């Protein structure tokens, strides 16, 4: 297949699998891109990992493209191709979605309750750190409970539709310590970083933008420890800093797709060692796309071909739920 054909297929797949039913504008734009020779040629001038739909669309949005018909998008990116290219080379898809806390929360609360201790959270691939505050957000599960921190939350409630027997807690777990690792930690207090995170939110998702802004306020007010570096290199040193009296949870969401297969296998082996053999109890929550997991040796995905855009939540390597990729739904297995 030619480069253009591979890119075209990637955009068509993104339109049909990820955007359909979730972002009509991105679905339309990406379908049009998949048959637009001039745009495919432009994308072909970028290194392969930089041709991602989310990166291209985010770069155009960061530079101010109007959300409208494809012709407007097309002429904007062709007129501003130098700037679009620069943003695509300098930035990465680092979407930070606090909504994902809704699907992590039941497991986090169970871990804390079973251990009878507060949590120490380590997020690998933390972006700006917005997922490190599950104790500061409010949640509305339907059907299910509405939960919020004792003093309420300044962040609009995260809504999550539910199927199956989700083990809801009565209250939010306490978090004693929070830390993250990222190749390029974003700074919630930096205007350009905040604007980039907003540009990565899909166009019709205005509630997600509102939530992102409020979540970044939470991060700014009480910043987590964010370590710059590769998760495989930084995890063990960071783990050594976790307070001894807390239940340690290492988690990640939409991160493993960015690792090559040896990197994913190394991480998985480290985590399995930690959950089985470590001197202290370490818990592992993985929230990743099916496609990513299918590339991992020994992944516990029944059907590696299954790619409906949903994510799989795993606890200590065992599948426990299917979820909406941004935390909008949870189906307990």
Please report, as ranges, the residues that interact with ligand SAM according to CB under 6 A: 92-97, 100, 124-127, 131, 181-184, 230-231, 253-255, 258-259
Q: How far is the CB of 197 from ligand SAM (least distance, A)?
A: 9
Say if strands 146-147 and 119-124 run parallel, antiparallel, or are unpaired.
Answer: unpaired
Give the residue with the Cβ less far from ligand SAM, 7 or 127.
Answer: 127
Structure-derived torsion over alpha carbons of residues 138, 144, 150, 151, reported in degrees to the nearest 10: 40
Q: Which residues contact 126 (CB under 8 A, 6 or more apart)?
A: 96, 132, 180, 181, 182, 185, 224, 226
Give the residue with the Cβ less far from ligand SAM, 32 or 225.
Answer: 225
- Cα distance between residue 238 and residue 225, in whole Å: 10
Q: How many CB atoms lie within 10 A of CB 181?
A: 26
Give the residue with the Cβ less far from ligand SAM, 117 or 252.
Answer: 252
Please state the φ and ψ torsions of residue 309, each to the nearest 5 degrees: 85, -10
Q: How far is the CB of 143 from ligand SAM (least distance, A)?
A: 25
- Cα distance between residue 12 and residue 318, in whole Å: 32
Chain position whose Cβ is nearest to ligand SAM: 125
Q: How far is the CB of 128 from ligand SAM (least distance, A)?
A: 8
Give the residue with the Cβ less far from ligand SAM, 34 or 234.
Answer: 234
Q: How far is the CB of 254 from ligand SAM (least distance, A)?
A: 4
Q: How far is the CB of 95 from ligand SAM (least distance, A)?
A: 5
Give the residue with the Cβ less far from ligand SAM, 93 or 316.
Answer: 93
Q: How far is the CB of 253 from ligand SAM (least distance, A)?
A: 3
Answer whether the bond into residue 143 is a cis peptide, omega within 30°: yes
Q: How many CB atoms lie within 10 A of CB 320?
A: 22
Tokens of 305: 């071909």
Give the residue with the Cβ less far from ligand SAM, 39 or 238.
Answer: 238
Q: How far is the CB of 66 from ligand SAM (least distance, A)?
A: 25
Give the residue with the Cβ less far from ligand SAM, 15 or 103.
Answer: 103
Nearest Cα neighbor of 108 from 119, 116, 122, 93 is: 119
**Residues 166, 167, 171, 174, CA torsion sign:** negative
Tokens of 200: 């990565």
């Amino acid at each position: 297949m030619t480069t253009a054909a591979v890119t075209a297929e990637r955009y068509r797949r993104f339109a049909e699998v990820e955007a359909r039913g979730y972002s009509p504008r991105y679905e339309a734009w990406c379908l049009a891109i998949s048959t637009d020779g001039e745009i495919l040629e432009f994308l072909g001038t970028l290194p392969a990992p930089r041709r991602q739909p989310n990166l291209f669309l985010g770069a155009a949005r960061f530079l101010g493209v109007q959300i409208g018909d494809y012709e407007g998008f097309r002429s904007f990116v062709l007129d501003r191709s130098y700037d679009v290219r620069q943003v695509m080379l300098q930035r990465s898809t680092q979407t930070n979605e606090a909504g994902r806390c809704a699907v992590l929360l039941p497991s986090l609360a169970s871990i804390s309750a079973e251990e009878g201790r507060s949590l120490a959270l380590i997020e690998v691939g933390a972006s700006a750190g917005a997922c490190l505050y599950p104790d500061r957000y409010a949640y509305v599960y339907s059907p299910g409970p509405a939960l919020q921190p004792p003093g309420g939350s300044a962040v609009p409630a995260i809504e999550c539709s539910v199927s199956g027997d989700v083990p809801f807690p009565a209250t939010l777990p306490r978090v004693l310590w929070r830390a993250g690792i990222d190749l390029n930690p974003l700074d919630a207090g930096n205007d350009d970083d905040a604007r980039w995170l907003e540009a990565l939110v899909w166009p019709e998702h205005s509630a997600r933008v509102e939530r992102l802004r409020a979540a970044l306020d939470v991060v700014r007010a009480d910043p987590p420890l964010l370590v710059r570096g590769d998760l495989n290199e930084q995890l063990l040193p960071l783990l050594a800093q976790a307070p001894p009296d807390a239940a340690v949870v290492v988690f990640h969401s939409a991160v493993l797709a960015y690792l090559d297969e040896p990197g994913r296998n190394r991480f998985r082996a480290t985590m399995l060692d930690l959950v089985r053999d470590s001197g202290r109890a370490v818990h592992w929550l993985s929230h990743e796309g099916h496609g990513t997991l299918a590339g991992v040796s020994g992944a516990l995905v029944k059907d590696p071909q299954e790619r409906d855009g949903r994510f799989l939540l795993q606890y200590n390597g065992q599948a426990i739920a299917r979820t909406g990729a941004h935390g909008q739904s949870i189906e307990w297995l």
